[in-house]
Structure 1
């Protein structure tokens, strides 16, 4: 909050503050007028208005020039930090040095993104910006825009549909889906057949707690269905449950490969064509010209593209389902 009384400023032409500072520096009406590109009569008239407002002569004529009064010197001491701060805020270049900055940025992403992107982001920051702090927060398509508008998030990684005029997006990549299972519990070949896929119970990530997800919608179009045994709001829960449960989970391919490799689970393409999710960087327009935020966007974009699925893991172009901007809220 800025704690001022706006009505007080109606009594003062703020340009008179420039007249005051020029007279302090030049100690001459003529030179001060020249400095401000004013005529001497206009400068004299401005000084008269200043004197009326301050209730003090402010400057008195001496053999050495226009000398400030004690009131003018006291006023100058109080105005100096205010005017210098105002000048810096309005006209200085907002330089940003990641190597010395200690800013904190908040980035929203799926929990699985914290697992896959988090270590990579920290690794790059350790080299480029050792003092910057990163707050990773949960986000989904349903609440991303609200959090960005409220200022609780600086940046989000999600898929998003229509946006307002104040929301900016930068496309990342299409995330295709895969399934994972424990090979000791689920005896299936890779790629898994549709019969094997449907014959086992399934785990589902659902932010709303529903037992029907997007994969089920695709199956229903073919007159098929699967049995969902449990839902969770977190993708990262799935592989740990699968190590003790004879079931299958479908999740983003990047996460499936990361978690499957780390926990000894088998990763397989889905046996049905499921359109991919179009992931984007999303931020509020208020940050467009912020050098620090520009650096953050470039950092996150670089890391995301480094982890983007290789072309070889995507369906062939002739078989690839068209991407939809639909959030992986229910899988």
Structure 2
């Protein structure tokens, strides 16, 4: 039987103990924050709460850093075996076996990625890990990082800019854009000319509802413009609208070829040069040594490399690092 007073634990956020041990080790709020993958204000706020709870300053600022008080050192001696035992009980796990695991992973990506990637992923999982389940979630650059930090997302495929040191990335490939249209109503040769491209109305994917994307920015440099009739947050909507709409849409090339072929739409390179989107695997550093997460990252990477066209492949996949730029407005 476990003999504790549960009411005492309701009064204490156990995460504060992690801040306490990090400060003991680092003797610096800044270094403790980095160790915990937290912001410095969050660590300072936690220290304030710890001081109130303990009734002691715990750490004193000196020329040599944050020095623990006698009370803090005594508390550390009593907490050490407790925390080490708790860690061993909760986090000592055996190696991940995909063949027998029933673990559930959450994977975030653009909706159009689900169309092209999900069938291949499920096919490989059926062979390698029949008991593993996958929850697919829509993300963009900002929401991916927020969900990874909150722990509600395991892994994401997205374009990402410079971010915090505890967000890991592994470059996948460059996604080049193409345009699609219904050849029965849009009378244009392939590859489409700039004149024909500008002669028809356009559909645009825009996560913020803007009617201007990267294509428009490139056109503006040449003192040209197109007429955007509709925006949507979903790439996968556009091909179906085009079956009843006399217009053009720009999509990531892999998706344009997949959906264009399935729906009888024409696919053409853009008549203007638009920078590609740099896609990466993105995850939180807390999963670096998780063998199940390592398996998932390897699986998704392998599938992506099978699907990417030759023009999108990088010369070297590189090592996990801070990501690259670009968004996916077209």
Q: TM-score, normalised by structure 1?
A: 0.70
Mapped contact 2:182–2:265 kept (Cα < 8 A): yes
1:4 is displaced (CA, Å) by 6.5
Question: Partners of 1:265 and 1:121 in 2: how far apart?
Answer: 26
Question: Partners of 1:175 and 1:148 in 2: how far apart?
Answer: 23
Question: Partners of 2:313 and 2:261 in 1: how far apart?
Answer: 15
2:128 — aligned with what?
128
1:308 — aligned with what?
308
Question: Partners of 1:177 and 1:292 in 2: how far apart?
Answer: 34
1:5 is displaced (CA, Å) by 6.9
1:142 is displaced (CA, Å) by 2.1
Question: Partners of 2:204 and 2:253 in 1: how far apart?
Answer: 15
Q: Give CA deviations for 1:6-31 in whole Å, capped at 9, x if unaligned.
A: 9x9xxxxxxxxxxxxxxxxxxxxxxx
Gaps spanning 5+ residues in structure 1: where? Answer: 9-81, 315-323
Mapped contact 2:179–2:248 kept (Cα < 8 A): yes
1:89 is displaced (CA, Å) by 3.9
Question: Partners of 1:213 and 1:265 in 2: how far apart?
Answer: 22
Question: Partners of 1:265 and 1:94 in 2: how far apart?
Answer: 50
1:193 equivalenced with 2:193 (yes/no): yes
1:163 is displaced (CA, Å) by 1.2
1:105 is displaced (CA, Å) by 0.4
Runs of 4+ with deviation above 6 angstroms: 3-6
Mapped contact 2:242–2:248 kept (Cα < 8 A): yes
**Superposed counterparts of 1:1-331, under 5 Å:** 89=89, 92=92, 94-311=94-311, 325-328=325-328, 330-331=329-330
Larger radius of gyration: 1
Q: Secondary structure at the match of 1:235?
A: coil
Question: Partners of 2:162 and 2:312 in 1: how far apart?
Answer: 30
Gaps spanning 5+ residues in structure 2: where? Answer: 9-81, 315-323
Q: Secondary structure at the match of 1:258?
A: helix
Q: Give CA deviations for 1:267-323 in whole Å, capped at 9, x if unaligned.
A: 000000001010000000000000000000000000111111223999xxxxxxxxx
1:119 is displaced (CA, Å) by 0.4
Mapped contact 1:148–1:154 kept (Cα < 8 A): yes
